[in-house]
């Protein structure tokens, strides 16, 4: 299967989580400061190479009605560029409830990475057994 990197993209910080090679366990990592696209892509490239990431899953900020608004389109656009830059497939997962989940862990070092872990866990549960 390979490791899967979960990202909770934000204008200031990007939450990060990664799965084990079997896609069973998910581990939060420190969030990455989003100072510029070049800097962000460079840091993600190091992480992808170092952890031998096979796929990236990014939280898609849908509206509460499940529609793709301006923010979702922005995230998709940036992540399509990341996919080309890294040559690693990028998939998307609904992130509507991940922030509420992360709020349940106020002492966590990075709420953004807790949200990334929640969306990665959601993706892995949804896709187990070939269901996508």
CATH number for the domain including 76? 3.30.420.140
List pLDDT tens digits, range 3-22. 999 999 999 999 999 999 99
Total count of domains within the chain: 1
What residues form DSSP beta bridges with 8? 15
- Mean pLDDT, residues 82-92: 97
Is 42 a residue whose pLDDT tops 90?
A: yes
List pLDDT tens digits, range 51-77. 999 999 999 988 777 788 888 899 999
Q: Are 32 and 24 a contacting pair, CB within 8 Å?
A: no
Residue owning tokens 């939060």: 28
| DSSP conformational letter for 24 | -
Q: What does the alpha-carbon distance between residue 29 and residue 35 come to, in Å, rounded to a whole number?
A: 18
Q: What does the alpha-carbon distance between residue 18 and residue 49 come to, in Å, rounded to a whole number?
A: 13
Q: Which domain does 78 fall in, by range? A: 3-130
Per-position DSSP letters for 98-118, written without gaps between them: HHHHHTT-TTSS-HHHHHHHH
């Amino acid at each position: 299967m390979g490791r899967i990197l979960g990202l909770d993209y934000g204008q200031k910080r990007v939450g990060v989580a990664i799965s084990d090679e079997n896609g069973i366990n998910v581990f939060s990592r420190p969030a990455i400061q989003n100072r510029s696209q070049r800097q962000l892509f460079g840091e993600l490239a190091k992480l992808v190479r170092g952890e031998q990431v096979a796929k990236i899953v990014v939280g898609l900020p849908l509206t509460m009605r499940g529609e793709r608004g301006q923010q979702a389109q922005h995230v998709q656009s940036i992540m399509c560029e990341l996919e080309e830059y890294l040559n690693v497939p990028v998939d998307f997962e609904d992130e509507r409830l991940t922030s509420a989940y992360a709020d349940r862990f106020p002492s966590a070092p990075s709420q953004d990475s807790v949200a990334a872990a929640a969306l990665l866990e959601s993706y892995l549960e949804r896709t187990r057994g070939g269901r996508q």
